[in-house]
Structure 1
Amino acid sequence: MTTPTPTPAHGHAPMSAPVPLSAHSPATPIYGEQLDGDGMPRLYESLRAEYGPVAPVTVAPGIEAWLVLGHREVLRLTREEQDFSHDPRRWSLLREGRVPADSPILPMVGWRPALLFADGQQHRRMRAAVSDALGRINGHELRRGVRATAERLIAEFADGKRADLVSDYARKLPLMVITGLLGLDEQTGQKLVQAIAGLVVANADSADASKRMGAILLALIEEKRHRPGNDVTSALLHHPARLTDEEVLHNLVVMFVAGNQTTVNWIATTLRILLCDPAFRSSLSGGHLSVDDALDLVLWRFPPTQNFPARYATRDLRFGGREIRAGDMLILGLAAANADPDILPEDGVPVVGNRSHLAFGAGPHTCPAQDPARLITRTAVDTIRHRLPDLELAVPEHELAWIKSPWSKGLAALPVRFTEPQLPRDARATRS
């Protein structure tokens, strides 16, 4: 398929000979073993100080891009599709054959027939199917299911009086809930999440992880095409938009598979703050903050997805003080944009109740699964607060480690200790 030739948007004069991205070399790497979730905020502020709201970076070996750090600039990037396309077939490095087939960036940004990679009418068609499928989820049933699953997981580690709330709780809970929504059994769902984890890390194994993920979902689609059930996969397959099996596959990835790690990070980071920030915990326990207020403050300060790929310039233009060329990749710097001093109060602390953060993106492509993700996270946090009331961190806070990924901000582990949990009778029966 040929890539359409970009034309200047109405009202904008063509620009002459902008400075190419490579002229800003050496661009700053935002990947590698030297960077993790703890050190990335300092890097963003260093880039902001040197370049302003748009900075030249590398996102994988030999792969240059623009990291958009400014809150206003990210909003423009997400809203103005005439200037910034979602279609990676416009990406100049890809068109010119400069992206190695085994590049860890490719599974994240390679074109697929999904709403994440579409503009205009094609995006609206798939978005309608996805929104309707998600709208069929019964919130009350989902909340009850999450609470029961959370209590069952707590019961599994309760006797030891210690746990890792990442591996024992935050990583398992969304998996068990999401696989049910998709129509997957738990064992297959575990394989799926292992593949997702390999994809998010963005290393040499990412391409293989992407293949494993696709094989699992294709088998699910084949089953639900012939034996539909009361699940999201079946809803997509039988929607009036008439999505193909391939479109269903890749929209499932966008909706839930890519969102799994985000929900894991949201749960774990909220629990970390509750354990490490006495003022935060006191405000929540005393009723000054609701659980939703707490979740939004986490989304402001520690968004689970710190950078999100990608948009592609449709024409040469000046943006954020930089000369952007048609075909350049631009990365949504969600964590950096949320920390933009131009939109925060003087003390740098977001106002409680303010949901103008960019943790879910913005514009027509705002995350379609944010409501079920919030319900899962809220219920997970609320349940463990009530069932483990004397929960405390088992190691000094500075020993907590973050996963190393340019995209995802999450803890590698969250070790805790507690005394006797307050389990309901049916959960105690499960434990015994």
Structure 2
Amino acid sequence: MTVPFPDRTGTGPPPGCPAHGGPAPLYGPGLDGDNLPTLYERLRAEHGPVAPVALAPGIHVWLVIGYRELLRLAREEQDFSHDPRRWNLLREGRVPADSPLMAFVGWRPALMFTDGQQHRRMRAAVADALGRVDGHELRRTVRATAERLIDSFAGRHEADLVPHYAHKLPVQVMARMLGVDDRTGRQLAEATAGMAAANADSARASRRMESVLLELIREKRWRPGPDVTSRLLRHPARLSDEEVLHNIVVMIVAGNQTTKNWIATTLRLLLTDPALRSSLTGGHLTVDDALDLVLWRFPPTQNFPARYAVRDMRFGGQDIRAGDMLVLGLAAANTDPEVLPDGARPVTGNRAHVAFGAGPHTCPAQDPARLITRTAVDTLRHRLPDMELAVSEQQLSWASSPWTKGLAALPVRFTAPQSDLATAIPQGESR
């Protein structure tokens, strides 16, 4: 794919070229979490399950918004590669070297950018390292971290739950999982925020993160501990230091942004949907039910990079060329009428959503991410049972990038918090 879909005859756009009027931008201040569903439905009506979009000016790709098509894209590695070095625009020099997109789609020796045996080798190491995290210990870590954060703003009787809670908690917990100290954890948090912003600082933030992690890897080679970094270094897959570094980068960036948005969006629903909050308080729904509702309606990652066509093909009603980038439209696929006809709400307990992807590259960290999110929401709602929005729902602001459309702010007010969490949370509720 060139500019954005090639003139194959030299006489103008191909007949019926879907992008002739210009691909829809997935960037810019005009897009937020409230109007994105409307955009996706317009794209579906105009183009079908695969639509032309722009990730940045002049960077035109395909967005896969059909549920069935997304499953095929995610599962069929023989047709769709994860290796961005296949990307036409990149090979043709059409993507600036300093583009903020490269922090996310630039090739790394990590499981997110590999296929076949190489992917299976890296995924085995990552999955095993995460799978050996003790769930009880992780829950205690999350709760202790949540308590400290709440105590830091409780006396003011007001807080912005995005920067003061949802943003800080996941990366602090992840730092503990990786085996880093608080100072290094703060450095990783700053670098993660810089990369996720998808702006001119993204490349510098990426280099800062790599520098911090290389020092961590050297330390863990010399003095291993009971942490994810040490397990990756000792795994039979024999990852190199470079592979460990870049797989940790993927874990931090993907995991932190996903969990941050998952926490913030769940809290937003509890604050703006009285029926949901009442059902949760009354025991008719569990926190996990609320988390699943968020994954269906407001996935923490809206659009996920990327697959690259390995050959010319007809896919989703479009002519795809070898090397074209196809982005996984997770949020749009979840609302495909073939999955949820007539805008029906997902049934409680239904986890057929694609919020964590599908196929061999399904997110290996979704279980710890759920535990972190569940515990974070549980702790906050029991410590601050009367919290309410400090602004109208229409005044909430959004952080925008092609990949995520999370809340930028969630200001709340509350009276004196509950101080004895052990008696506030019913036994077994956080399972």
Normalization by structure 1: what TM-score? 0.92
Deviation at 1:173, TM superposition (A): 1.1
Provide the residue aligned with 2:214 in structure 1: 218
1:95 aligned partner, one-letter code: R
Maintained 8 Å contact 2:383/2:421: no
Maintained 8 Å contact 2:162/2:264: yes
Maintained 8 Å contact 2:18/2:52: no
Q: Give, in whole Å, the separation in 1 of the partners of 2:243 and 2:147.
A: 36
Identity of paired residues, percent?
Answer: 73
Tell me whether 1:24 sits opposite 2:15 in the alignment. Answer: no
2:74 aligned partner, one-letter code: T
Provide the residue aligned with 1:402 in structure 2: 398
For 1:28-177, list aligned pairs within 5 A: 28-177=24-173
Tell me whether 1:316 sits opposite 2:312 in the alignment. Answer: yes
Provide the residue aligned with 1:200 in structure 2: 196
Root mean square deviation of aligned Cα: 1.9
Q: Give, in whole Å, the separation in 2 of the partners of 1:183 and 1:262.
A: 21
Q: Give, in whole Å, the separation in 2 of the partners of 1:20 and 1:199.
A: 39
Q: Secondary structure of 1:346's partner?
A: helix
Deviation at 1:23, TM superposition (A): 7.0
Structure 1 stretch 65-74 or stretch 38-47: which is displaced more? 38-47
2:258 aligned partner, one-letter code: T
Deviation at 1:187, TM superposition (A): 2.0
Deviation at 1:114, TM superposition (A): 0.5
Maintained 8 Å contact 2:382/2:421: no
Residue among 276, 299, 306 paired with 1:303: 299
Deviation at 1:347, TM superposition (A): 4.3
Tell me whether 1:390 sits opposite 2:386 in the alignment. Answer: yes
Q: Secondary structure of 1:306's partner?
A: coil
Q: Secondary structure of 1:282's partner?
A: helix
Residue among 351, 363, 366 paired with 2:362: 366
Deviation at 1:22, TM superposition (A): 8.0
Q: Secondary structure of 2:108's partner?
A: coil
Q: Give, in whole Å, the separation in 1 of the partners of 2:185 and 2:278.
A: 37
Residue among 243, 264, 288 paired with 1:268: 264
Provide the residue aligned with 1:284 in structure 2: 280
Deviation at 1:201, TM superposition (A): 2.0
Higher relative contact order (CA 8 A, sep 6+): 1
Q: Secondary structure of 2:218's partner?
A: helix
Q: Give, in whole Å, the separation in 2 of the partners of 1:263 and 1:57.
A: 26
Maintained 8 Å contact 1:91/1:327: yes
Maintained 8 Å contact 1:66/1:331: yes
Per-residue deviation, residues 61-98 of structure 1 (Å, max 9, x unmatched): 21110001111111110001011110111111112222
Q: Would the alpha carbon gap of residues 66 and 21 (structure 1) be closer, same or farther in structure 2, given more than 3 Å must change?
A: farther
Deviation at 1:34, TM superposition (A): 2.1
Per-residue deviation, residues 15-50 of structure 1 (Å, max 9, x unmatched): x99959987241111111222222222211111111
1:290 aligned partner, one-letter code: T
Per-residue deviation, residues 345-396 of structure 1 (Å, max 9, x unmatched): 4342111110011110010000011110000000001111111111111111
Structure 1 stretch 198-207 or stretch 54-63: which is displaced more? 198-207
Q: Secondary structure of 2:370's partner?
A: helix
Q: Give, in whole Å, the separation in 2 of the partners of 1:170 and 1:202.
A: 19
Q: Would the alpha carbon gap of residues 267 and 407 (structure 1) be closer, same or farther in structure 2, given more than 3 Å must change?
A: same
Per-residue deviation, residues 228-267 of structure 1 (Å, max 9, x unmatched): 1111001001111110011001111222332101101100
Maintained 8 Å contact 2:233/2:241: yes
Provide the residue aligned with 2:429 in structure 1: none
Deviation at 1:186, TM superposition (A): 1.7
Residue among 205, 208, 211 paired with 1:209: 205
Q: Give, in whole Å, the separation in 2 of the partners of 1:187 and 1:114.
A: 26
Count of aligned residue pairs for this structure pair: 412
Q: Give, in whole Å, the separation in 1 of the partners of 2:38 and 2:188.
A: 33
Structure 1 stretch 96-105 or stretch 358-367: which is displaced more? 96-105
Deviation at 1:221, TM superposition (A): 0.9
Q: Give, in whole Å, the separation in 1 of the partners of 2:421 and 2:383.
A: 12
Maintained 8 Å contact 2:389/2:412: yes
Maintained 8 Å contact 1:165/1:413: yes
Provide the residue aligned with 1:256 in structure 2: 252
Maintained 8 Å contact 1:198/1:206: yes
Q: Give, in whole Å, the separation in 2 of the partners of 1:258 and 1:209.
A: 15
Q: Give, in whole Å, the separation in 2 of the partners of 1:398 and 1:326.
A: 43
Q: Give, in whole Å, the separation in 2 of the partners of 1:160 and 1:261.
A: 27
Provide the residue aligned with 1:343 in structure 2: 339
Q: Give, in whole Å, the separation in 2 of the partners of 1:192 and 1:19.
A: 47
Q: Identify unmatched segments of 5+ residues in structure 1.
A: 1-15, 427-432
Q: Give, in whole Å, the separation in 2 of the partners of 1:23 and 1:386.
A: 51
Tell me whether 1:422 sits opposite 2:418 in the alignment. Answer: yes
Q: Give, in whole Å, the separation in 2 of the partners of 1:365 and 1:44.
A: 24
Q: Give, in whole Å, the separation in 2 of the partners of 1:98 and 1:164.
A: 40
Deviation at 1:409, TM superposition (A): 2.3
Per-residue deviation, residues 187-209 of structure 1 (Å, max 9, x unmatched): 22222122222212212222112
Provide the residue aligned with 1:8 in structure 2: none
Maintained 8 Å contact 1:302/1:409: no
Q: Identify unmatched segments of 5+ residues in structure 2.
A: 1-7, 423-431
Provide the residue aligned with 1:241 in structure 2: 237
Q: Give, in whole Å, the separation in 1 of the partners of 2:271 and 2:35.
A: 20
Structure 1 stretch 196-205 or stretch 64-73: which is displaced more? 196-205
For 1:180-191, list aligned pairs within 5 A: 180-191=176-187
Q: Secondary structure of 1:421's partner?
A: coil
Maintained 8 Å contact 1:193/1:257: no
Q: Give, in whole Å, the separation in 2 of the partners of 1:157 and 1:23.
A: 51
Structure 1 stretch 310-319 or stretch 17-26: which is displaced more? 17-26
Maintained 8 Å contact 1:151/1:423: no
Q: Secondary structure of 2:171's partner?
A: helix
